[in-house]
Amino acid sequence: MKAMFVRMDRSFAAASLVVCLLTVCPSVAQAVQLFLSNEKDNTVTVVDAATMEVVKTIPVGKRPRGMAITPDFREILICAGDDDRLDVIDTEKLEVVRTMPSGADPEFLAIDPTGALVYVANEDDGLVTVMERKSGKILSEVPVGIEPEGMAVRSDGRIVVATSESTSMAHFIDAQKNEVVANVLVDTRPRVAMFSKNDKMVWVTAEVGGTVAVIDSSTYQVVKKISFEIPGVQSELIQPMGIRFSPDDKFAFIALGRANRIAVIDTATLTVVRYILVGQRPWHMDLHPDGTKLYSVNGLTNDVTVIDVASQKPVKSVAVGRLPWMVVIKP
């Protein structure tokens, strides 16, 4: 009788495992993964977020920089600047499955909330190229300022923002007409634009100007320019780059380039409350899906620093490829 019950228990356990696998139970769900573009290696490094160990290194086109993940998390698009194309990584197969001609020197890109459209900053041509994601077809080319880089799409997909480094402007584009509706002057060499979580503001980092412009997205007026002062660090080394907002929207994290720090800004008062020391020349960042960790990509130390969001302190750094530039996360 005891043996029969053991067999029944085993059968029940096996059946439960099958049901769990079919319904994607949390206990067997795939691990959260970091994807990092390595500009000098022409690769993307895949890191397991739980162990912070490298899972795979994926060869991609020349000079990979900007990346974006699709809303369904199935694909990651990478700007291969020196090949004038986008590479598409399948996040299950962990390999490039197709490429898309994107115009000259794609630097950065953004995907609309539906996943249907891709907006590419073509640095050499002064254009934002609008592409159909599935086919790779170019739908429109929107002239903007000189050397566009940063790209951001509003949560409803109706407004797109591009920054132009040499023109020192943030360009607001009507996504239905593919026309520029406003040009906002910011400080020298704007690099990254990001909408606040409620879409009311657009934050723009100026690498050479050393500031962050907070722009009202309805009036196109600069509400405030945030500057930075770090004891013992020369002002010209403070080079704002990547932006991320905390899950509760109370803080904004700004990568400060050669200052080797992440600035923490109170979004209510628009004041700096802390600086977090990381590796050399942090470029971009991303947040763990559960909001507990922030990952800073440090270009000159070839590593990624893990930051505890609650304490706002670095936990550890992990080596990746050469000249890592950006990170995106697959939940």
Average confidence (pLDDT) over 111-128:
97
- Confirm if 49 and 329 have CB atoms less than 8 A apart: yes
pLDDT above 90 covers a percentage of the chain that reads: 91
Nearest to 262 by CA among 327, 201, 306: 306
Residue ranges of domains in the chain: 60-227, 237-331
Give ∠ CA 63-69-70 in degrees, rounded to 5: 135
The residues that bridge with 44 in the sheet, in sequence order, are 37, 58
Predicted confidence (pLDDT) per residue in 249-261, tens digit = 999 999 999 999 9
Predicted confidence (pLDDT) per residue in 66-116, tens digit = 999 999 999 999 999 999 999 999 999 999 999 999 999 999 999 999 999
pLDDT above 70 covers a percentage of the chain that reads: 91
Average confidence (pLDDT) over 314-329:
97
pLDDT of residue 1: 47
Look at residue 214 and tell me whether its pLDDT is greater than 70.
Answer: yes
Rounded distance between C-alpha atoms, residue 59 and residue 112, angstroms: 26
Average confidence (pLDDT) over 229-258:
97
136: left (phi over 0), alpha (psi -120 to 50) or beta: left
3-class secondary-structure state, position 186:
coil
- 237-331: CATH topology is Neuraminidase (2.120.10)
Q: What is the DSSP letter of 309?
A: T
Look at residue 9 and tell me whether its pLDDT is greater than 70.
Answer: no
Pairing state between β 117-122 and 261-266: unpaired
pLDDT of residue 30: 66
pLDDT of residue 324: 98
Pairing state between β 127-132 and 117-122: antiparallel
**21 burial type by CB count under 10 A (0-12 exposed, 13-18 middle, 19+ buried):** exposed
3-class secondary-structure state, position 111:
strand
pLDDT of residue 15: 46
Average confidence (pLDDT) over 44-69:
97
- pLDDT grade, residue 192 (50/70/90)? very high
Look at residue 212 and tell me whether its pLDDT is greater than 60.
Answer: yes
Average confidence (pLDDT) over 51-65:
97
- pLDDT grade, residue 186 (50/70/90)? very high
The residue type at 30: Q
Look at residue 16 and tell me whether its pLDDT is greater than 60.
Answer: no
Nearest to 304 by CA among 312, 313, 289, 315: 315
Average confidence (pLDDT) over 282-307:
97
Contacts of 171 (CB under 8 A, 6+ apart): 128, 144, 145, 148, 161, 162, 163, 164, 180, 182, 183, 184
Residue 237 φ/ψ, nearest 5 degrees:
-90, -10
pLDDT of residue 199: 97
Average confidence (pLDDT) over 272-294:
97
Domains 60-227 and 237-331 share a fold: no
Question: Edge-to-edge strands of the sheet including 169-174?
Answer: 148-153, 159-164, 169-174, 179-185
Class of domain 60-227: mainly beta
The residue type at 299: G
Residue 26 φ/ψ, nearest 5 degrees:
-55, -35
Q: Give pTM, 2 decimals.
A: 0.90
